[in-house]
Structure 1
Amino acid sequence: MTKPDMTKPTTGQAAAPAVDEHGRVEQAAREAEPPPSPLRRVLDSGAGRNLGLVAVLVLLALVGAATADTFLTASNLLTVLTQASIIGVLTVGVTFVIIGGGIDLSVGKVMALASVWATTVATQSFGPLVMIFCAIAVGVGAGMVNGLLIAYGRIVPFIVTLAMLISAQGLAEQISGRRSQIVTDPVIAGIANTRLLGIPLLVYIFAAVVAVGWVVLNRTTFGRRTFAIGGNPEAARLAGLDVKRHTILLYMVSGLCCGIAAIMIASLTTTGSSTHGTLYELDAIAAVIIGGTLLSGGRGTLVGSILGVLVFTTITNLFVLNNLATEVQNIAKGAIIVVAVLIQARAQRSSG
């Protein structure tokens, strides 16, 4: 009598499950890796990254004090804050979009388009309230178009916002005839020159936008949904969230910030111009990145983004005070972005 072959499964007997070699190797690697130290856990957290940016600002202040006598003067520090205010307002909107899993390359030129539309002779003839309304309406409208194309057109955010950047630039040039439009309204022109307790009104506007943005992001349902959709849009959809509508709202928030920034830059320069906002989108995105917000979405802090804006603005101020070339300044900014991304990658591996 022939003995059955014990190496083969008999009828009704399930085959042995295949071994997931890749999963086994990853599991062994995780078990072999030593647990992170308390210091490393703190540095990888949001608070730790913010403290690191504060330390960078302190280091830059020390360098500034050692290399330029005027760096730590009150007038220069207010100059830094004023320069940071416009890009800072744009950065608030970009932070919302990136945490929500998107990207917005159009903020600089949407701001320029809003400034041009708000400073035409026809618009200025209706007074400052209409100018402010037009700037905000243009920004929110452009954001809505971005959101609709991304949510319902299913086009990649990079492509949509890049197309909006080009279109906004062309429309701004068409409206202005490639000429700077002078702000003749005294109320709008006086915003940048107004000071309260010695601090420019632009800084107060910047602080107000940041405060409102922080509350919305961290203390409202809208903020919690933003993190959820950025972390896993499919899981958010299955949980009952309207991902498409929320995506549109995120880009409208970014557009709203563009409209506010347009009034600020029109007041600061007393002009509306298609040249406003050139490369501002890159500065805003870079500030968000070094502030600890993941480009893949789902994690980030508004405080970190604002600290990133202050770091870049302080570096620019240091280079100006020391008469250093713009090329070197751009190299330094690029190096900072690379280091920030490397730190993010390390934090992701640690959390994984």
Structure 2
Amino acid sequence: MQPQVLTMNSPDTAKAAPGFATRYKRFSQSPVFFPLIGLVLVCIAMALTTEHFFDPDNLVNIARQVSVNAIIAVGMTCAILSGGIDLSVGAVMALAGTLMAGLMVGGMPPEAAIAIGLGVGLLFGVANGFFVAYAGMPPIIVTLATMGIARGIALIYTGGYPIDGLPDWFAFFGSGRVLGLQAPVLIMLLVFVAAYVLLDHTPVGRYIYAIGGNEEATRLSGVRVPRYKLLVYGLSGLTASIAGLVLTSRLMSGQPNAGVSFELDAIAAVVMGGTAISGGRGSIVGTLIGAVMLGVLNNGLNMMGVSPYVQNIIKGVIILLAIYISRERTKRR
């Protein structure tokens, strides 16, 4: 029997081509398409302009640096998808971290100290959600106020000084390894998997998208919108406190000034990941890509010796460009 040879005019090729074209068209319309292209371009640019970008040690360093911002960005994604925003995440992260450190140093069992730190983050998130969902206050104002409250409590609790003397085993969350994988990266991946399941495979996720797309229509369809907004901000506070656990463990110190401007980096990761700043459209996978892209950019600029002030300008321009592209894509739909 002669082997079948496919030519450009053969029926099999004609059938295969439309299938590939359809799949490519769908992928090109996905929220992660442009972020993925952007990540590839940034990696190529950094590889061409730095000598050791693809060294294993540098890639490990990028992964470790990305983990904290990426964890915060998970909660920020939920908030932005619902049509809101959370500016308190950096301060909540610092408060949770300093509480964990202070309670452990003070003699409390480590498990209880960690649970209290995570609980405080969740509590701040729920408070944000209550004022936004039930009191009808603007998210940007509410979370700006709670940002100041959380930061102030952290500074009062520590007296403005770092809390040192943490037990050696606590370093595991920031620098330990599990089956060769760094603990911060593993925690980040677990948080992203949980968020992916919630947003893409449960009714709760569909309601969050619907609220961000058209809150009034979602309410009229029978969905209890305030309940899901409360959940969204609770998740944002919880992920901020998980990030506080990882960062405090990495530094082996509770830092009351930690997390300054981390909310901006989280928003940058979400927007660069293709999530519409107005809500209702986006992807948690895109947020991961955006966080990695931001980490690669920071790492490459540091290796090139670019001033941190210039880096802020570059990141600001990139955020504006990402928002512009997102708005243009939304208009075309």
Structure 1, gaps ≥5 residues long: 1-37
What secondary structure is seen at the aligned counterpart in 2 of 1:240? coil
Per the alignment, residue 303 of structure 2 pairs with: 321
TM-superposition CA deviations, 1:307-345 (whole Å, max 9, x none): 111111111100111111112211211111111111112
Runs of 4+ with deviation above 4 angstroms: 38-44, 121-124
- 73 and 243 in structure 1: CA distance in 2 versus 1, 3 angstrom threshold: same
| 2:151 maps to amino acid | Q
Query: Residue 113 of structure 1: which of 73, 92, 95 is its match?
Result: 95
TM-superposition CA deviations, 1:13-62 (whole Å, max 9, x none): xxxxxxxxxxxxxxxxxxxxxxxxx999658622xx42332222222222
Per the alignment, residue 88 of structure 1 pairs with: 70
What are the within-5 Å matches in structure 2 for residues 229-244 of structure 1?
229-244=211-226
State the alpha-carbon separation in 1 of the partners of residues 153 and 86 from structure 2: 18
Per the alignment, residue 45 of structure 1 pairs with: 29
Judge conservation of contact 2:104–2:113 (CA < 8 Å) in 1: no
Per the alignment, residue 85 of structure 2 pairs with: 103
Q: Which piece of structure 1 moves more, 189-198 or 172-181?
A: 189-198
- Following TM superposition, by how much is the alpha carbon of 1:122 offset from its aligned partner in structure 2, in angstroms? 5.9
Query: Residue 109 of structure 2: which of 123, 127, 133 is its match?
Result: 127
Q: Please tell me whether Structure 1 or Structure 2 has the larger radius of gyration of its CA atoms.
A: 1
- 122 and 43 in structure 1: CA distance in 2 versus 1, 3 angstrom threshold: closer
What secondary structure is seen at the aligned counterpart in 2 of 1:296? coil
What are the within-5 Å matches in structure 2 for residues 267-282 of structure 1?
267-282=249-264
- 213 and 80 in structure 1: CA distance in 2 versus 1, 3 angstrom threshold: same
Query: Residue 276 of structure 2: which of 282, 294, 297 is its match?
Result: 294
- Following TM superposition, by how much is the alpha carbon of 1:104 offset from its aligned partner in structure 2, in angstroms? 0.4
| 1:253 maps to amino acid | L
For the pair 1:220 / 2:202, whether they are aligned, the reply is: yes
TM-score, length-scaled by structure 2: 0.89
Q: Which piece of structure 1 moves more, 226-235 or 260-269?
A: 226-235
What secondary structure is seen at the aligned counterpart in 2 of 1:110? helix
Aligned length: 313
Per the alignment, residue 128 of structure 2 pairs with: 146
Query: Residue 261 of structure 1: which of 224, 228, 243 is its match?
Result: 243
- Following TM superposition, by how much is the alpha carbon of 1:295 offset from its aligned partner in structure 2, in angstroms? 1.7
| 2:192 maps to amino acid | V
- Following TM superposition, by how much is the alpha carbon of 1:186 offset from its aligned partner in structure 2, in angstroms? 2.5
Q: How well do the aligned residues superpose, as a CA RMSD in angstroms?
A: 2.0
Query: Residue 285 of structure 1: which of 260, 267, 283 is its match?
Result: 267
- 215 and 39 in structure 1: CA distance in 2 versus 1, 3 angstrom threshold: closer
State the alpha-carbon separation in 2 of the partners of residues 174 and 163 from structure 1: 17
- 319 and 78 in structure 1: CA distance in 2 versus 1, 3 angstrom threshold: same
- Following TM superposition, by how much is the alpha carbon of 1:259 offset from its aligned partner in structure 2, in angstroms? 1.4
What secondary structure is seen at the aligned counterpart in 2 of 1:192? helix
State the alpha-carbon separation in 2 of the partners of residues 51 and 73 from structure 1: 27
What secondary structure is seen at the aligned counterpart in 2 of 1:267? helix
What secondary structure is seen at the aligned counterpart in 2 of 1:126? coil
For the pair 1:191 / 2:173, whether they are aligned, the reply is: yes
TM-superposition CA deviations, 1:181-225 (whole Å, max 9, x none): 115123322322312343311100001100110010000111011
State the alpha-carbon separation in 2 of the partners of residues 164 and 238 from structure 1: 31
What secondary structure is seen at the aligned counterpart in 2 of 1:181? coil
TM-superposition CA deviations, 1:143-193 (whole Å, max 9, x none): 011011111211111100000111111111000000001151233223223
Per the alignment, residue 308 of structure 1 pairs with: 290
Judge conservation of contact 2:90–2:262 (CA < 8 Å) in 1: yes
